[in-house]
Amino acid sequence: TLLKYFCRNCENPLALGEDLISKKFVGASGPAFMFSHAMNVVVGPKIGRKLLTGSYVVADVMCSKCGEKLGWKYVETFNLKQRYKEGMFVIEKLKLTKKY
């Protein structure tokens, strides 16, 4: 059985353990996880945002079931060293629950 991550609010499945890239991110509510893929999410409009590691074009990510704001998706970066983040999802740890 594989580890899965769910919305803490409504238990909608959001990501698989195998898609977890990093646990070393920081979101608005504290620790956050980076995933290569996310499911059952709604991606909002693109916006420019200054984050800890520079300026990015990002899109907020919400749960498709309950509408809870979960984190963001990196759309574009202007720093070559940060380019690996493009297309990745960052979901705040406080918004997640996990099950095996």
Q: What contacts 58, CB < 8 A, 6 or more positions away?
A: 46, 47, 48, 49, 51, 72, 73, 74, 75
Model's pTM, two decimal places? 0.95
100 residues of the chain, pLDDT tens digit each: 589 999 999 999 999 999 999 999 999 899 999 999 999 999 999 999 999 899 999 999 999 999 999 999 999 999 999 999 999 999 999 999 999 8
